[in-house]
Chains A and B, each alone.
Chain A
Amino acid sequence: MSISSRIRHFFRRRREGRASDDQHLDSEMQFHLEQQTADYIAQGLDPAEARRRAALQLGSTVAITEASRDTRWETHLEHFLQDLKFATRVLAKAKRSTILAVCALALGIGSSTIIFTVMYNGVLHPFAYRAAERLTTLHVLDPANPTGEMRAVFHLDEIAAFREKNHTFEDIVGYANWFVLYSHDGIDEQLHGGAVTSNTIEFFGMPPLAGRGLIASDFNADAPPVVMLNWRLWNSAFHDDPSVIGKQITLDGVAYTIVGVMPRRFQHLGADVYLPTPWDTPASAAHSDFRRPTFFWATGILKKGVTAKQANDDLTAIAESLQARYPKDYPKVARMGTQLLNEAIVGDLKDTLILLIAAVVLLLLIACSNVAGLLLAQASARSREIAVRSALGASRMRLVRQLLTESLALAFAGCVAGCAIAAIGAKYVVAAMPPGRIPWDADVTLNRSALLFAVSVSLLSTLLFGLSPALHAIRGDLATRLVSVGGMGTAAGAGSGARFRSALVACQIALSILLLITAGLSLRSFYALTHVDLGIDPHNVLLADVQFPAGQYATSDTKRKFFNDLLVRIDAIPGVTHSAELVGSVLLGSPDGAITIPGKVHSEEWDTNADVVSSDYFAALGLRLLKGRLLTPADEDSARLVTVVSRAFADKYFPGEDPIGHSVKFNFFDQLPDSPRDAYFEIVGVISDLHANGPKEPIPPQMYVPYTVTGFGDRSVVVRTAIPPASVVNDVRRAVSAIDHNVALVTPRPLEENLSDSIYAGPRFSMLSFGLCASVGLLLAVVGIFSVMAYTVSLLTHEVGIRMALGASRAHILRMVLGYGARIIGAGVVLGLAGSFVVARAMRTEVWGVSAFDPATFITVALAVIAIALLATYIPARRATTVEPTIALRHE
Chain B
Amino acid sequence: MTPPHSQPSELLKGTLDMLILKVVSVGGPIHGYAISQRIRQISREFFQVTQGSLYPALHRLEERGLLDAEWRDTPTGREAKFYKLTRSGRKQLEVEMSDWEKMSDAVALILRTAH
Contacts and interface: CB of A to CB of B under 8 A. Distances in A.
A59 B53 CA distance: 11
A34 B88 CA distance: 32
Interface string B78-115: 11110000101000000000000000000000000000
B51 interface: yes
Contacts of B64: 1
Given A1-B64, A25-B55, A63-B3, 20 more contacts: A2-B65, A6-B65, A29-B51, A29-B55, A31-B31, A32-B33, A32-B51, A58-B51, A59-B4, A60-B52, A64-B51, A67-B52, A68-B58, A69-B59, A71-B60, A71-B63, A72-B59, A73-B63, A395-B2, A396-B1
Contact of B81 (A31, A35, A59, A395): A31
Interface centre among B50, B55, B60, B86 (most CB of A within 10 A): B55
B65 A71 contact: no
Contact of A72 (B55, B63, B65): B63
27 contacts: A1-B64, A2-B65, A24-B71, A25-B59, A27-B79, A28-B32, A28-B81, A29-B55, A32-B36, A32-B51, A35-B34, A36-B33, A39-B37, A58-B51, A59-B4, A59-B52, A64-B3, A64-B55, A64-B56, A67-B52, A68-B56, A69-B59, A70-B56, A72-B63, A73-B63, A394-B1, A395-B1
A288 interface: no
A128 B51 CA distance: 64
Contacts of A24: 71, 81
Interface in A42-88: 57-60, 63-64, 67-73
A57 B51 contact: yes
Contacts of B36: 32
A70 B56 CA distance: 8
Interface of B: 1-4, 31-34, 36-37, 50-52, 55-56, 58-60, 63-65, 71, 78-81, 86, 88
A213 B71 CA distance: 74
Interface in A393-438: 393-396
A625 to B, nearest CB: 93
A104 to B, nearest CB: 34
B14 to A, nearest CB: 15
A63 B59 contact: no
Nearest to B86: A1
B33 A31 contact: yes
Contacts of A58: 51
Contact count band on A: 20 to 34
Contacts of B78: 31, 34
B55 A68 contact: yes
Contact of B80 (A31, A36, A390): A31
Which of B1, B55, B56, B63 has the most C-beta atoms of chain A within 10 angstroms of its own C-beta?
Answer: B1
A67 B31 contact: no
A60 B2 CA distance: 12
Interface string A1-35: 11001100000000000000000110111011011
Given A36-B33, A67-B52, A71-B56, A28 B1 contact: no
A317 B86 CA distance: 70
A147 to B, nearest CB: 67
Contacts of A57: 50-51
A261 B66 CA distance: 66
A67 B81 contact: no
A69 B52 CA distance: 12
Given A24-B81, A28-B81, A32-B32, A1 B1 contact: no
B1 A393 contact: yes
Contacts of B31: 28, 31
Contacts of B32: 28, 31-32
A30 to B, nearest CB: 9
Nearest to B71: A24
Contact of B1 (A39, A64, A69, A390): A390
Contacts of A394: 1
Interface string A175-218: 00000000000000000000000000000000000000000000
B39 to A, nearest CB: 14
B54 to A, nearest CB: 9
B12 to A, nearest CB: 19
Contacts of A393: 1
B89 to A, nearest CB: 10
A390 B80 CA distance: 32
Nearest to B50: A59
B24 to A, nearest CB: 15
A848 B112 CA distance: 76
Contacts of B56: 64, 67-68, 70-71
Contact of B52 (A6, A63, A70, A395): A63
A854 B31 CA distance: 80
